[in-house]
Amino acid sequence: MSANSLPENIAAWHTLEVDEALELLSTQADTGLAPQEVNSRLQKYGANELEEAGGRSAWEILVDQFKDIMLLMLIAVAIISGVLDLVAWRSGTLPAGEIPFKDTIAIMAIVILNGILGYIQESRAEKALAALKQLASPNVRVIRDGNTLEVTAKELVPGDIMLIEAGVQLAADGRLIEESNLQIRESALTGEAEAVNKHAKKPLSEESSLGDRVNMVFQGTEVLQGRGKVLVTGTGMKTELGKIAEMLQSVEAEDTPLQQRMSQLGNVLVTGSLVLVVISIGIGLLMGGNFIDLVEVSLSMAVAVVPEGLPAVITVTLALGTQRMVRRNALIRKLPAVETLGSVTTICSDKTGTLTQNKMVVQSTFVGKEYFSVSGEGYAPSGEFLLDERTIIPEEYPEIPPLMVACTVCNDAILQQEKGEWKILGDPTEGALVTLAAKAGFEKDQWDTKLPRASEFPFSSERKRMSVICQVEEVETGFSPIRDVDPQISNLLADESHLMFTKGSPEIILSLCDQVFLGGNSVPLTEEQRKQILAANNKMAGEGLRVLGFAFRALAKVPSEASEKEVEQQLVWLGLTGMLDAPRPEVRAAVQESRDAGIRPVMITGDHQLTARAIATDLGIANGGDRVLTGQELQRMSDQELEQNVDLVNIYARVAPEHKLRIVKALQNRNKFVAMTGDGVNDAPALKQADIGIAMGITGTDVSKEASDMVLLDDNFATIVSATKEGRVVYTNIRRFIKYILGSNIGEVLTIAAAPLLGLPDVPLTPLQILWMNLVTDGLPALALALEPAEPDVMKRPPFSPRESIFSRGLGFYMIRIGIIFAIITIILMMWAHSHVQSVGVNGLSPERWKTMVFTALCIAQMGHAIAIRSNSRLTVEMNPFSNPYVLAAVTVTTILQLMLVYVPPLRGFFGTHALSLSELGICLGFSALMFVWIEGEKLFLRIIGKKSV
Ligand code: ATP
């Protein structure tokens, strides 16, 4: 059957036998589809994608823009100003040459522009988040053309044979072909939190509800345990999840703590300005002022107090922050993480793959009573076994072959050669074992056929072991080629028909053994031998090796699914393997950097305490003598006891995922701000609980990625540290331009309020001029300040609390102080300029130009402010002006624009400015420069008295 005649709308795949379903989709369980067929089905059914649903509609995003309280106040100002103009126009009192409704139009234009900008940014942000989600979207293991390969979820088509295992989030709907211990959580679909046991076997009745279709698996659900082979029956919008698209989780565009603080700030500013308006109108009236004039002053004040440019600058800064982080391999999934990352005090990191390279090579084995070392590098299956530095032939030692068989069959990894390089598909720990066995001449392919797997008890981080049950005898004929012909197996079998091989944490495996395989036979395990084995384990672990123990048991039949407790005992010990997983070279420096930055790295691993200590000491996470807390000890501790210990312990070993949750909570109760890494399904609760949950991009399960705030694309600890640094830079820059913008706003408001109180005839600044300042002459340099590179000491100081107020550490005081200085400088200039234009009549120049001098001085003073505020402690002369060329460019462009407003006639007409003489312009520049001088003076003063500025 070709793609065109596929059954389109079979809703009842669960009623079919596996063979019927395979036939209907013209595919085969062992070989899957051929590439041409995949292509034609891809064309017919489209990519396996869900159409985005559930997010806000474009219209809703647009309407949301106008709900901001500051924009609402601006709209009110526009209306009042329009009414005033209308009255003046009707009564003929509008000054000659004045364009009516200019301020109203300008303010409304700004409101609309702000709305549109916000709209564009937010819809971009939603799209970007969706794209990021895509980036983190999973690969799927499929069988095509007889080969096992990984494809992206998008490329799945109906008829594909998909392999699933614990940790996977399903990418399509499908009929189970076979399964082992498969448990799936279907809450995404059915709302039912309980895991469902799945069974491939029998067809079900047509009426079975979704939750009862145990022979089917569904897109979006999560594999908690076991494995399975699935025939893909539905992709894209044709899946059960696709059908109920409205239930889809939309991409979450959460407000960052900063955005929340900003809306609080908006409330404070709006209330504050209303209070100011009432006060100044009141005082003005008492002083005999004209009501309409006073209303105009109030309107200007209201416009001046709103930092119109701020929201845009903040959004751009956060967006640039996420981009910089992605370039450093840290993918932000939840926006708040961008700025809160800088506050991390403790990084709890997994060992394998994050601190180490996760490229395993078995270096030694302890079998029988001997240590054998193994040569060779990487996954290439070439190397030798050595005893006391002499090469040996493994088969000559009767204990080695069964261990090698265990390494090959109790194993799910696939060793492949790609372009001459040996690679591994699956878990690197297992890959190293396939390589080891191949070095001894035991090929996995051959042994998988000789000892086909009949059942298994899968690995989990809680159990720290796995077992496979292999069939040895052909049940029907009673003849076994292996039993009768293969001496390597016949000694293991006794009279049974099945062999179970178990591997895992050596202490656990050994505790399940009562015999040991020695000299070709199983003999009782003595206490002496037990001690020897544990000593060998400690010796290898102490060298930083990851040690696994192996055992076997002969069984009469395939055990039932939930019987591991009874079956995984009375095992026969086979031996130990010790593999090297070298630390990542860049981690040592990253650990040091985080320590300097007041961040404590903590290792949390499932591995042995001695292995953990050796690697932690090597990396500088702990000192040789530091205490290691094991999962067992942790288990015995109460939450309070754990809290008393968390500040002291830097290494947790042999922990299970549920311990991670307790560790995070204990740290948080000690007021720590915790970043926690994780990769497994069961790490998800700890990742959610952590302040920053970090999932692994390469080895992480889909479930852990879903639960995380950030995904490490390279699984590397050093990436966490560099993301933390970026977080600090973003937060410092945000605080920097808030200081910059709000300081000037306060200066403007005070200057405007002072004018009528000091008896000046008019408001110095019109709403239009104020908008110009807040948006353009403040906005451009603020954007440039957002690009300020890291200060040299950014990772040399302790982290700041994420809960600190925006005004903390002197920022509020700075704004008020600088606002007042700003106002004092401008008010002095204003008074001087007003009397100057009265006394000096320059030909052709307007007597109104004192206002333009105030306007110009305010704008240019902000240029000096922008240059000086680049550093809190370093003087401008001590900084490289080109380390942030954007500030230089913004200052130059803004100054030119401001001069154009004063000297280009049409612009002058529109903005209500007046030309200044050269000496007047010089005086404006002189006054403006005072701002720069003041801030530099402050830095110098603080340096002299030995205090740090904010
Ligand atoms: P980390 O938490 O730092 O990544 P880890 O990889 O050692 O450390 P787990 O994957 O939970 O943590 O493994 C815990 C223990 O289980 C290992 O130390 C090892 O003894 C055992 N183990 C790991 N992988 C397997 C496997 N594939 N089969 C059997 N046992 C395993």
Tens-place pLDDT, residues 492-502: 877 788 999 99
- Which residue's CA is the nearest one to ligand 1's atom 1? 605
Nearest-angstrom CA–CA distance, 27 and 157: 11
Cα torsion for 393, 399, 400, 404, to the nearest 10°?
150
Residue nearest to atom 5 of ligand 1 (CA): 606
Task: Report the distance separating Cα 604 and Cα 650, nearest Å.
Answer: 8
Is residue 464 within 6 Å of ligand 1 at its C-beta?
A: yes
pLDDT on residue 2: 42
Phi and psi, residue 788, nearest 5°: -60, 130
The whole-number average pLDDT for the span 95-103 is: 73
User: What is the distance between the alpha carbons of residues 200 and 17, in angstroms, rounded to a whole number?
Assistant: 9
Rounded to an integer, what distance in angstroms lies between the CA atom of residue 577 and that of residue 397? 16
Average pLDDT over residues 77-104: 81
Per DSSP bridges, beta strands 546-555 and 222-234 are unpaired
The secondary element (H helix, E strand) that includes residue 543 is: none
d(CA 531, CA 730): 55
Task: Give the bridge partners for 553, in sequence order.
Answer: 500
Q: Which residues pair with 575 in a beta bridge?
A: 367, 550
With vertex at residue 280, the alpha carbon angle to CA 276 and CA 281, rounded to the nearest 5 degrees, is 115
- Amino acid identity of residue 832, one-letter, is W
Residues 6+ apart with CB under 8 A from 639: 662, 665, 666
Map 97-125 to HEC letters: CCCCCHHHHHHHHHHHHHHHHHHHHHHHH
Q: How far is the CA of 39 from the centre of ligand 1 (A)?
A: 39
The mean per-residue pLDDT over the stretch 832-837 comes to 85
Show the DSSP H helices in 414-486 as ranges. 428-439, 444-450, 481-485
CA distances from 918 to 41, 336, 466, 902 (A): 76, 50, 86, 12
| Substitution candidate for ligand 1 out of 412, 456, 605 with most atoms within 8 A of CB | 605
Nearest ligand 1 atom to the CA of 656 is 11
CA of 603 to the centre of ligand 1 (A): 14
In this prediction, residues 42-54 reach a mean pLDDT of 76
Tell me the fold of 3-47+136-236. 2.70.150
3-class SS of residue 560 = coil
Token pair, residue 926, equals: 């002189």
Task: Output the CA 197–ligand 1 centroid distance in Å.
Answer: 25
pLDDT at 54: 47
Who has greater pLDDT, 913 or 479? Answer: 913
Handedness of CA 854, 855, 856, 858 (dihedral sign): positive
Q: Please, are residues 193 and 187 in contact by the beta-carbon 8 Å criterion? A: yes
Cβ pair 401, 394 in contact under 8 A? yes
For residue 825, the surrounding DSSP H or E stretch is helix 811-839
Helix ranges (H only) for 553-674 are 564-567, 587-596, 609-619, 631-636, 639-645, 657-669
Report the C-alpha gap between 208 and 206 in whole angstroms. 6
> pLDDT tens-digit profile of 10-20?
568 888 899 99
Annotated active-site residue 350? The verdict is: yes
Q: Taking phi first (over 0 means left), then psi (-120 to 50 degrees means alpha), and beta for anything else, what does residue 682 get?
A: alpha
Per annotation, catalytic residue among 350, 683, 702, 778: 350
Q: 742-785: per-residue pLDDT in tens?
A: 888 889 888 888 887 787 877 888 888 888 888 888 888 998 99
Strands 710-712 vs 692-696: parallel, antiparallel or unpaired: parallel
Q: Directed axis angle between helix 291-305 and helix 717-757, to 10°?
A: 170
Report the alpha-carbon distance of residue 47 to residue 41 in Å, rounded.
9
d(CA 458, CA 476) in angstroms, rounded, equals: 27
pLDDT above 50 (res 248): no
- pLDDT of 87 above 90: no
C-beta 503 within 6 A of ligand 1: yes
SS3 845: coil
Coil/strand/helix, residue 310: helix
How far apart are the C-alpha atoms of 410 and 398, rounded to whole Å? 19
Mean pLDDT of 405-410: 96
Residue 677 Cβ contacting ligand 1 at under 6 Å: no
Q: How do residues 808-819 score in pLDDT, each as one tens digit?
A: 888 888 988 999
Identify the residue with better confidence: 941 or 3. 941
In short, whether 466's Cβ falls inside 6 Å of ligand 1 is yes
pLDDT digits (tens, 9 = 90+) for 166-191: 878 888 999 999 988 888 988 767 76
- At 18 the three-state DSSP class reads helix
Which atom of ligand 1 is least distant from the CA of 350? 3
Q: State which H helix or E strand residue 161 sits in.
A: strand 161-165
Residue 495 confidence (pLDDT): 77
Q: How far apart are CA 102 and CA 455, in angstroms?
A: 81
Q: Whose CA is nearest to atom 13 of ligand 1?
A: 606
**Residue 595 — pLDDT band, cuts 50, 70, 90?**
very high
Distance 641 CA to ligand 1 centre (A): 27
- Which has more pLDDT, 482 or 652? 652
283-324 pLDDT, tens per residue?
A: 888 877 788 878 888 888 888 888 877 877 877 787 788 888
Binned at pLDDT 50, 70 and 90, residue 253 comes out as very low
pLDDT of 479 above 70: no
Measured in angstroms, how far is the CA atom of residue 646 from the centroid of ligand 1? Answer: 23
For 267, other C-beta atoms within 10 Å of its C-beta total 12
Pick the residue with more confidence: 803 or 247?
A: 803
Which is the closest atom of ligand 1 to the Cα of 353? 4
- What percent of the chain stands above pLDDT 70? 90
Report CA(586)–ligand 1 centroid distance (Å): 23
Q: For ligand 1, say whether the CB of 167 is within 6 Å of any of its atoms.
A: no
Which residue's CA is minimally distant from atom 20 of ligand 1? 505
Whether 461 is in the pocket of ligand 1, judged by its Cβ within 6 Å, is yes
Of 310, 342, 312, give the one whose Cα is nearest residue 325. Answer: 342
Q: Which residue minimizes the CA distance to atom 4 of ligand 1?
A: 352
Domain boundary assignment for the chain:
3-47+136-236, 51-134, 256-321+724-945, 330-355+585-715, 360-583
CB burial class (10 A; 0-12, 13-18, 19+) of residue 13?
A: buried
Is 505's C-beta closer than 6 angstroms to any atom of ligand 1? yes
Contact call for residues 339 and 256 (beta carbons, < 8 A): yes
At which residue do the structure tokens 């000091």 appear? 758
- Domain 360-583 adopts which CATH fold? Calcium-transporting ATPase, cytoplasmic domain N (3.40.1110)
Q: Within a 13 Å sphere around the CA of 862, how many CA atoms are in the beta-carbon half?
A: 35
d(CA 62, ligand 1 centre) in Å: 50
Whether residue 175 has its Cβ less than 6 Å from ligand 1: no
How many angstroms is it from 476 CA to the middle of ligand 1? 38
The pLDDT of residue 659 is above 60: yes
The finding on whether 739 has its CB within 6 A of some atom of ligand 1 is no
d(CA 89, CA 83): 10
Q: Under CATH, which number does the domain 330-355+585-715 receive?
A: 3.40.50.1000
Say how many Å lie between the CA of residue 102 and the centre of ligand 1. 71
Q: How would residue 4 be classed by pLDDT, with cut points 50, 70 and 90?
A: very low
163, 142 in Cβ contact below 8 A? Answer: yes
pLDDT, tens only, 419-443: 888 988 888 999 999 999 999 999 9
Which residues pair with residue 232 across a beta bridge? 174
> 742 and 778 in contact (C-beta within 8 Å)?
no
From the CA of 608, give the closest atom in ligand 1: 18
CA distance 296 to 275: 16
Residue 254 has pLDDT above 70, yes or no: no
**In angstroms, what CA-CA distances link 371 with 507, 538, 575, 648?**
18, 13, 10, 36
Distance CA(784)–CA(664), nearest Å, equals 38
Instruction: Look at ligand 1, atom 9, and give the residue with the nearest C-alpha.
Output: 606
Q: Cβ(766) to ligand 1 under 6 A?
A: no
The lowest-confidence range among 73-82, 429-438, 481-490 is: 481-490
Report the CATH fold assignment for 256-321+724-945: Calcium-transporting ATPase, transmembrane domain (1.20.1110)
* Average pLDDT of the residues of the chain: 86
Measured over the CA atoms of residue 903, residue 908, residue 911 and residue 916, the dihedral's sign is positive
- Asked if residue 350 has its Cβ within 6 Å of ligand 1, the reply is yes
How far, in Å, CA of 351 to CA of 581, rounded? 10
**H helix count then E strand count, the chain:** 34, 28
Decide if pLDDT at 658 tops 70: yes
Judge if the beta carbon of residue 78 lies within 6 A of ligand 1. no
* Ligand 1 neighbourhood includes 459 CB (under 6 angstroms): yes
Q: What single-letter DSSP state applies at residue 798?
A: P
Region 70-83 average pLDDT = 86
